[in-house]
Structure 1
């Protein structure tokens, strides 16, 4: 009798959920009807990408900011209900957000 069988005997109602699908991560963040605005600006001569227009909880937006920064391997911050990413990553950010189910609108250039 291996460990899995012993655990099934001890906890018969438990359903093992070892799947790490992207669909599980979609349900964490609230999706909205209005599009998220993806802007490009230059501050002090350096390019930045700004995401704004999210109407859900700020904790969800912070999670999204952290996930974008880690996937793109760039710096950034979350201030005043905006995500500020260092560099011009509009195309990559838009594809990531669209794969998550968000509606994204590109503004500026």
Structure 2
């Protein structure tokens, strides 16, 4: 019973056995957002102008793709329990949630992040 009929083979060996045209492509490496966060100079502003007296937290300085920014927007909206949007390379979150936002980005690996604005 100790004799195995089949041996473990690597992915390269398996591809070499069959038609290489039919073999699935190797998965593309995903660029980690931590790389972008480490490079970015992120500032979290509080603004009330032009919003009927209501305050919003605006995250500026994120240097990443729109898809990644959309993911962060969704995570922040769920973390703060409020609405928000993404416009012109900024993420806008309703209400004053600067402390939560700063702590969230620090936990994700951002190094240069500060609260700004009054």
Task: Answer yes or no: same fold by TM over 0.5.
Answer: yes
Could you report, residue by residue, the CA deviation over 1:4-60 in whole angstroms, capped at 9, with x for unpaired residues?
xxxxx9x987xxxxxxxxxxxxx7423232321100011210010000111121211
Aligned counterparts, 1:5-84, within 5 A:
28-29=32-33, 30-42=36-48, 43-84=51-92
State the TM-score, normalizing by the size of structure 2.
Answer: 0.65
Aligned partner of residue 105 in structure 2, secondary structure: helix
Structure 1: 5+ residue stretches without partners: 1-8, 14-26
**Could you tell me the TM-score, scaled by structure 1's length?**
0.70
Mapped pair 1:90 → 2:94: no
In the TM superposition, structure 1's runs of 4+ consecutive aligned residues that sit over 3 Å from their partners are none
- Give, in whole Å, the separation in 2 of the partners of 1:96 and 1:40: 17
Q: Which runs of 5+ in 2 are unaligned?
A: 1-5, 11-30
Which structure has the larger Rg over C-alpha atoms? 2
Higher share in strand? 1
The CA RMSD over aligned residues, in Å, is 2.1
